[in-house]
Amino acid sequence: MSIKSFHPPVRTLMGPGPSDVNPRILGAMARPTIGHLDPAFVMMMDETKELLRYAFQTDYGLTMPVSAPGSAGMEMCFVNILEPGDKVIVCQNGVFGGRMKENVERCGATAVMVEDEWGAAVDPNKVEAALKSNPDAKVLAFVHAETSTGAMSDVRTLAQLAQANDCLTIVDTVTSLGGSELRVSDWGLDAVYSGSQKCLSCTPGLSPVTFSERALAVIKNRKTRVQSWFLDLNLVLGYWEGGGKRAYHHTAPVNALYGLHEALVILQEEGIENAWARHWQNHNALKAGFEAMGISFVVKEGERLPQLNAVTIPEGADDAVVRSRLLNEYSLEIGAGLGALAGKVWRIGLMGFASNQKNVLFCLGALEAVLADMGAKISLGVAVDAAAKSYR
């Protein structure tokens, strides 16, 4: 048996992530590998932290990428802040609120659930009631951009409720960072995690995180040892915050960090508010095309994410067959529904480098062709024109 080099097909990635990677980032990742304690690499680490502060819109000193995907960033927040016996109010309006609950319970803490319909934003009134009923709660945990449904919750209001009730916040911004308005310092968020592969358009495998001074004080004054050695911030900080002399903790993914650095430079060049506006412009064009076709959105207007569009599967369309044909005939990836929405929706991403006019028009045209061939109940010949008109 002779296994040869792997050459992946060229795809257009318009699912829930990863997103298309900017060629500049792939080029950066091909640069020569140097040691993770090399002074040149340490300098780049400091630049990456500064660029991440810009992306998060924060002045928090403890801002860095975790050497693992977004799920590890999530776990880092929970295992460092929580101790056995703590109480956490967890908001769930999709898959990823459920993962928060799992983390809380694995820390030996108690999760008080605030549940909303899949496809709806977190209801601040329910959160306020839960906070009043649980004055001993230590943390309020919620997802800013629920990737499983395309719903965006009001982070600022939820954070204000937590602050009024003396609670820390743990916030999932995996799909929102770089794509939706996020102002960590202004909104007073405490422990925030994200991922490299969504609106930053970097390769998967890194998780940017940022922690407030309030959160850091809790972490440094724990009564028990953090259950995870690798994710223990008290150890990791010796490497990422070590000043001139960094203490060895783990071998950092050097070339992946080159890629994240380049992704953040690209974001800085575009301007964060311009990036937010671009995602909305492309979402509005995609929306115009779908509505012309007769395909509706799961999330109501005002609670939708611009970068993750959950749309209902029209009558006469076979979910798996449509996605398979798009992949095989057009090399176009869109996402299936998760959990309660499996088989009912498609999730179409417009993230980072993939959020552009060409992709919007290509996706609408390819999807219309496949649905028409299948005899699905849609209006034909109108989607691309409607989207193009939106741009004009």
- Structural domain spans, the chain: 23-269, 272-391
Q: Rounded to an integer, what is the distance from CA 307 to the centroid of its chain?
A: 10
Nearest Cα to Cα of residue 350 among 287, 264, 267, 296: 287
pLDDT at 248: 83
Cβ neighbours of 163 (radius 10 Å): 17
Fold of 272-391: Aspartate Aminotransferase, domain 1 (3.90.1150)
Going residue by residue through the chain, which has 392 residues, state the pLDDT in tens, using 9 for 90 and above.
899 999 999 999 999 999 999 999 999 999 999 999 899 999 999 999 999 999 999 999 999 999 999 999 999 999 999 999 999 999 999 999 999 999 999 999 999 999 999 999 999 999 999 999 999 999 999 999 999 999 999 999 999 999 999 999 999 999 999 999 999 999 999 999 999 999 999 999 999 999 999 999 999 999 999 999 999 998 888 888 766 677 888 999 999 999 999 999 999 999 999 999 999 999 999 999 999 999 999 999 999 999 999 999 999 999 999 999 999 999 999 999 998 899 999 999 999 999 999 999 999 999 999 999 999 999 999 999 999 999 99
Which residue is listed with tokens 């999730």? 347
219-228: long-range pairs with CB below 8 Å, 24+:
219/80, 219/81, 222/80, 222/83, 223/83, 224/83, 224/84, 226/79, 226/80, 227/79, 227/107, 228/75, 228/76, 228/79
pLDDT at 244: 61
pLDDT at 245: 72
**Would the pTM of this model clear 0.85, i.e. be above it?**
yes
Token pair in block for residue 360:
């919007």
pLDDT at 273: 98
Nearest Cα to Cα of residue 247 among 255, 257, 237: 237
pLDDT at 215: 98
In CATH terms, is domain 23-269 a member of 3.40.640.10?
yes
DSSP-derived pairing of the beta strands 139-143 and 87-92: parallel
Residue 252's identity, in one-letter code, is A
By the 10 Å C-beta count (0-12 exposed, 13-18 middle, 19+ buried), 6 is classed as exposed
Asked, colleague to colleague, whether 23-269 and 272-391 share their fold, the answer is no
